[in-house]
Structure 1
Amino acid sequence: MAFTIDTNAAAHGIQLAVAPVFLLTAVSGMIGAVAGRLARIIDRARRLEDSALASSDNDFRARANVELDELRVRGRYCNACIALLTTCAFLIGVTIILLFVGETTSIDASKIAVGTFLFGVAMFLAALLCFLRETLLATRVLDVHVRVK
């Protein structure tokens, strides 16, 4: 049983699938940026926790606990952002597969492909909102600490 593929259809399928690939590039860059922010949040929290445990100054410990709470919230936003970006990448990958399969076979997957693409873009937009919220919280923490000194 021979399986033949129309090369013209395959070429057209690849052309259709290229557009969502650009979104995957943006998603991977965002994941790298957010993962870097999360790593810095974790490093800061560890240093602050070690300093608070070693300190006998109750005022410092209280300030450290407030900042640790803020870092925890920021970390949750970063985790949510990474989860949304990962979901986006998965959906865009499914979209690429559906577009290619739809072009190279007799299966009409265009409606599903549109849905997965739009849902992937929605996940990307939600991730951007999480990223914005986390950066606003980071700036707010900086403003609070500048006023205290």
Structure 2
Amino acid sequence: MILERFLRRRRPEPEPVLVDDGTLTVVGSCFDPARADSAVVAELRAAGVAVETGPFVMRHVLTLPDDAAVAEAVRILAPDGWAVDVVDPTERPLRVRIARQQVLTGLEPARERTRMAGLAQRLGGDAAGYEVLARG
């Protein structure tokens, strides 16, 4: 019991999960389909961003044709922790931001960009690109 209390006190507090709540800063982005995601990560490192220690939020920007497509995107992505936000519900096609905390390696942005492109295509839209956000 005493050992249990001692161990409980020494455990570090888990770092809170980052959310795209308007307080984060864009530290990198890629809106060119021909640009390598590993180059984005390399540029972040060159700019002094501590890529290995994170945490980061990847915010993908998609255009989707209507509210039904957005609802389907939410249904598909929400179980994996993605937040889906419509920028302006009055414009058509709808500009949608899809965000969650990610590990930032050369492979992870490529994997997620491919996933978002496939999702957008399946729902009749387009994946414009992504931004990497971090605490300022």
Higher RCO (CA < 8 A, seq sep 6+)? 2
TM-score using structure 2 length: 0.28
When Rg is computed on C-alpha atoms for both structures, the one with the higher figure is 1
Higher helix share: 1
| Larger relative strand fraction | 2
State the TM-score, normalized to the length of structure 1. Answer: 0.26
